[in-house]
Amino acid sequence: MAERKTNSSNFQNQSYLENKCPLNELLFTMSRRWTTDVLFCIEEGNNRFSGIREELAYITDHILSDRLKTLEKSGLITRHQFPGMPPKVTYALTEHGVELCNLLGKLCDFSHLIYDDKAVSA
3-class SS of residue 91: strand
* Largest distance between two CA atoms of the chain: 57
Q: What is the CATH number of the domain that holds 69?
A: 1.10.10.10
Check residues 18 and 4 and name the one with the higher pLDDT: 18
Predicted confidence (pLDDT) per residue in 31-69, tens digit: 999 999 999 999 999 999 999 999 999 999 999 999 999
Asked if residue 23 belongs to a domain, the reply is no
The verdict on residue 80 lying in a domain is yes
Residue 82 inside a domain? The answer is: yes
pTM: 0.79
d(CA 82, CA 90): 8
**What distance in Å separates the CA atoms of residue 111 and residue 98, rounded to the nearest whole number?**
20
Domains of the chain: total: 1
Q: Using the predicted structure, report yes or no on whether residue 70 has a pLDDT greater than 80.
A: yes
- Compute the distance between CA of residue 63 and CA of residue 69 in angstroms, rounded to an integer: 10
Q: Provide the 10 A C-beta neighbour count for residue 100.
A: 20
The answer to the question of residue 13 being in a domain is no
- Residue 20 inside a domain? The answer is no
